[in-house]
Amino acid sequence: MLNLTKAVQQLKQERDQARNKLERLDEALKVLTGLTGVKRGLARGRGKRRTMSAAARKRIAAAQRARWAKWKAAHPKK
């Protein structure tokens, strides 16, 4: 029974050490993300996407068609 009690105490000590180390790592991450300005949700990928109105899409499409027409006029086929 003595060995079992000793083993349990040792496991509890290891758990506490791991918990302390994890807390220190969390603090370090918090400091580093604060320095770089990286936010948690946006750091891993996309943030919230904005929707575009139909009128805005039409204006953008018309402008792109005009750019292509200008380029094609300046670069005729051989």
- Nearest 5 degrees, angle CA 47-CA 31-CA 45? 20
Q: Quick one: pLDDT band at residue 38, thresholds 50, 70, 90?
A: low
CA distance 56 to 75: 29
Q: What are the residue ranges spanned by the domains of the chain?
A: 2-38+53-74
As a whole number, mean pLDDT of residues 23-52 equals: 76
On the question of pLDDT at 44 being above 70, the answer is no
**With a threshold of 0.85, does the pTM exceed it?**
no
- As a whole number, the mean pLDDT across the chain is 86
Task: Determine the longest span between alpha carbons in the chain, in angstroms.
Answer: 93
